[in-house]
Structure 1
Amino acid sequence: MDDKDSLFTISHNNENNELNSSDINSDTDVLNNNSEHTVVEADSAVLQENNEIKNTRRYDDFMYEPIGFENPHTASNEYGYYDSSEFYETKQSKNGKLITVFLALTFGALILLTIVCAIIDLSNSANFFDEYTPSKNVVLYRESKPKSDDKMLEKDKTGRYTTEGVAAKVRPSIIEIYTYSDKSMVNRLNTGSGIILSDDGYIVTNAHVLNSEGYHIVKTSDDKEYSAEIIGRDSKTDIAVIKIEADNLSEAVFGDSDEITVGEQVMAIGNPAGLSGTVTNGIVSAVNRKIRGDSTGFEMNCVQTNADISPGNSGGALVNMYGQVIGITSSKYVSSSYEGLGFAITINEALPIIEELIDNGFVSGRFRVGITLIATDTKSSREVVEKELGHELPEDFYGIYIMEIDENSKIAETQLEAGDFITKINGESVSNHSELYNALKEFEIGEKIPATCAFFDEEGNPVEYKIEFEVMEDTSGDY
């Protein structure tokens, strides 16, 4: 057998699926003995390698192809046989590359998707915080009001000012008043407001703001301060006039309080709690209210308003929308029990008193009894009196309780003592300030006035007695 025939027989033995190792060894010996054929030696090496592969794998018949029918996709060597291991390795290599590429693309897509989602989330978060939290990049703009050409001060067709116009017109006519015990100005007693009556320094205010023994400072709207002198005061009406040494002051314009109508818009301007030039507004709630002062009991004609009137507003102005002063505010006429219930002395009732105070320093026809009293016509006042006495009053007992008696008064010369009661004046029952004043005004100064008085004995029973006394002309302004 020829060496080449032996090689062909070994390579293409289709009858046996497995090579016989002894045949292979025999053929190998033949090849080794033929040293002249170098190609055979190379083929022997190839056969030896194939022998190792075939010892580890099993091949089916379809995996072998005859020479001359080489499949360009499967043939991998110059001898025309098909090496299945190379096919698997090539296919696995290609598949591996495809899988690697696929995984890389998938992983890259996931990373890209994650980045996009993160950007969207951050964008939404930024929008959220921009909406609900302050941003350092926010720029706030301010605009000035349009330059005024006095439109705020212009009147409408009826001649009324705007609220801004009223404030601008009237505030320069309102001053602050500070009352001190002496010139050291260490101990401040009261604060209040005032209305400038004339450009040379006459000012109207409330009597209770002032102190006859005190020292008074006036501060104008331009922050200038002046010492003030009391010209006259009337405690019954709670009106007083003071004077400062000044010129070219902005004097107020006074209206006619008889023309006030319910529902009319009004403004209160004063110095509540030391806050100068405070402006509040409201309406006229009622007119011609007869209101009695909480300390003097003197009845005054007042206008009722819901504009805020607080302590410190005393002596300030109630003005209409024409910029006219129609009332003088007073905390003495303000209800402490109800919200939004304030009163101002009508200017028509106040002006005659103001004029007389300027002319005389007091109101003529005023009289003074010389007593400090407590009424017994209300539950609260009766409780105060009962506390003073130390026992309850009989239900049918009424009168005015005497707290103090002025030792310089005519009534101090009678049997009346502090702790007693005046129950009747000239036979008319009296139980409060107004009833006492109405009974006394029927008598002239210096005329004898009969009165019925009473005190309680140790057993709590009232004991009556009668006196006669005279009232004195009041030029001090005190009640």
Structure 2
Amino acid sequence: MRSSLKLVSDGAALNGDRPFSHDKSDDHLFDAYSRAVTGAAESVSPAVVNIEVAHAAGPRGNSRNHDAPAGSGSGFIVAPDGYIMTNSHVVHRASRISVTLSDGRKSEAELIGDDPETDLAVIRITGSNLAAVSLGDSHAIRVGQLAIAIGNPYGFQCTVTAGVVSALGRSLRAGSGRLIDNVIQTDAALNPGNSGGPLVNSRGEVIGVNTAIILPAQGICFAIAINSAKLVAGHLIKDGKISRGYIGIAGHNVELPRRFVRFYRLPAETAVRVASVEANSPAALGGVKEGDQIVRLGETTIAGIDDLQRHLTMSQVGVRTPVTVIRGTEQLTLEIVPSEAAHKSRE
């Protein structure tokens, strides 16, 4: 029996042996895409750095102990005088930070500020007239637009990957447990070592700080929006830390009885149940008790712990703020004055 299998080569087509005809009508699209990626990479890559960190190998104060290598990541120069933005988890608790520039030069870096709550940090190297990135506006980006990631995955310096902005407004849980809002989702490939590198648009403007991937999924990667990063970096450069409000409670999310929701016309069916109150804390001084269910902070609805953390900002510090709670079957409005949360040591 004669086989019906036909080999296709040298442009032969399966349909009637007609030569394959390449439709060139889309060539300009591929050319434009290539120009956008190469242009952005050439513009940004000189400002992308490789970061290597070491942690103290033994008890502090023992001069015989040497630093132990702890990992690496990426960063990008945001000012010509050597300020570099990266992820907190790249440099957190590092005893030594070493930076390699795109041209191969190496320099020791100083930690300027570190905020695990947003997974952002700023370090600085000594230098002047260094190549620096242009920061974009993350409010202006759209789902589907080109996204280009540049970093040092597994130590392969200045690796470029490209994809699109997959979604906006995602939330990501930081290592501290706090929720990071307005996170960008992209399918531009990220790998270990990309953390802290820039996510850029087709104009070569940084729109995000690459920070996380979901394993074993493919093409689900996240970057902290650059507008959030600019705000945090400004405070880190100025003060070395981010100030946040503190009221001194531990709590968990609970569902409210429907009769309470209807009777008090509450906008949410969940709240924060206070599990404990620290002695002499703002909450204790304001009359908050264990078992209270917090439903509002000022005029803001509190549907869970994330809402409470999100709205305890530095603008609340020292400001007398009403807190609405359900105690038993009664709705009460208390007043507290949030204080500044103690900055967590890097040690």
Identify which of 222, 230, 239 aligns with 2:120: 239
SS at match of 1:330: strand
Q: Deviations over 1:336-376 (max 9, x none)?
A: 4743122222223322332232233234xx32539797966
Q: Quick one: distance in 1 between partners of 2:280 and 2:69?
A: 29
* Cα pair 2:210 2:223 within 8 Å, conserved: yes
* Cα pair 2:50 2:99 within 8 Å, conserved: yes
Give the equivalent residue in structure 1 for 2:343: 476
One-letter code of the match for 1:192?
A: G
* Cα pair 1:362 1:477 within 8 Å, conserved: no
Q: Measure how far apart 1:218 and its partner are.
A: 1.6
- Does residue 445 of the first structure (1) align with residue 318 of the second (2)? yes
Q: Measure how far apart 1:330 and its partner are.
A: 1.2
Identify which of 316, 319, 323 aligns with 2:204: 323
Identify which of 182, 189, 193 aligns with 1:312: 193
Identify which of 333, 342, 347 aligns with 2:221: 342
Q: 1:251 to 1:372 in 2, by over 3 A?
A: farther
Give the equivalent residue in structure 1 for 2:244: 367
Give the equivalent residue in structure 1 for 2:85: 204
* Cα pair 1:320 1:326 within 8 Å, conserved: yes
Which sections of structure 1, spanning at least 5 residues, go unmatched?
A: 1-155, 378-395, 455-466
Length-normalised TM-score, structure 2: 0.64
Aligned length, in residue pairs? 288
Q: Quick one: distance in 2 between partners of 1:357 and 1:324?
A: 22
Q: 1:445 to 1:311 in 2, by over 3 A?
A: farther
Give the equivalent residue in structure 1 for 2:19: none
- Does residue 164 of the first structure (1) align with residue 9 of the second (2)? no
Q: Quick one: distance in 2 between partners of 1:203 and 1:196?
A: 4
Q: Deviations over 1:391-419 (max 9, x none)?
A: xxxxx99857989x8x9987799999xxx
- Does residue 302 of the first structure (1) align with residue 176 of the second (2)? no
- Does residue 424 of the first structure (1) align with residue 294 of the second (2)? yes
Counterparts in 2 of 1:157-306, with a 5 A limit? 161-182=35-56, 186-212=67-93, 214-287=95-168, 289-294=169-174, 295-306=176-187
Q: 1:352 to 1:437 in 2, by over 3 A?
A: closer
Q: 1:432 to 1:286 in 2, by over 3 A?
A: same
Q: Deviations over 1:2-47 (max 9, x none)?
A: xxxxxxxxxxxxxxxxxxxxxxxxxxxxxxxxxxxxxxxxxxxxxx
SS at match of 1:291: strand
Q: Measure how far apart 1:206 and its partner are.
A: 1.5
Q: Quick one: distance in 1 between partners of 2:167 and 2:156?
A: 28
Which sections of structure 2, spanning at least 5 residues, go unmatched?
A: 1-29, 58-64, 255-268, 328-333
Which fold has the larger relative contact order, with Cα–Cα distance below 8 Å and residues 6 or more apart in sequence?
Answer: 2
* Cα pair 1:423 1:431 within 8 Å, conserved: no
Q: Quick one: distance in 1 between partners of 2:54 and 2:191?
A: 20
Q: Quick one: distance in 2 between partners of 1:400 and 1:178?
A: 43
SS at match of 1:187: strand
Q: 1:348 to 1:438 in 2, by over 3 A?
A: closer
Give the equivalent residue in structure 2 for 1:358: 237
Counterparts in 2 of 1:56-67, with a 5 A limit? none
Q: 1:429 to 1:171 in 2, by over 3 A?
A: closer
Q: 1:446 to 1:166 in 2, by over 3 A?
A: closer
Q: 1:198 to 1:188 in 2, by over 3 A?
A: same
* Cα pair 1:179 1:211 within 8 Å, conserved: no
Q: Measure how far apart 1:202 and its partner are.
A: 0.7
SS at match of 1:177: strand
Q: Quick one: distance in 1 between partners of 2:67 and 2:101?
A: 21
Q: 1:224 to 1:261 in 2, by over 3 A?
A: same
Structure number, greater radius of gyration: 1
* Cα pair 2:178 2:309 within 8 Å, conserved: no
Q: Quick one: distance in 1 between partners of 2:182 and 2:138?
A: 10
Q: Quick one: distance in 1 between partners of 2:49 and 2:280?
A: 36
Q: Quick one: distance in 2 between partners of 1:410 and 1:327?
A: 36
Q: Quick one: distance in 1 between partners of 2:92 and 2:218?
A: 29
Q: Which has the higher helix share?
A: 1
Identity rate, percent? 30
SS at match of 1:194: strand
Q: Quick one: distance in 2 between partners of 1:253 and 1:446?
A: 37
One-letter code of the match for 2:225?
A: T
Q: Which has the higher strand share?
A: 2
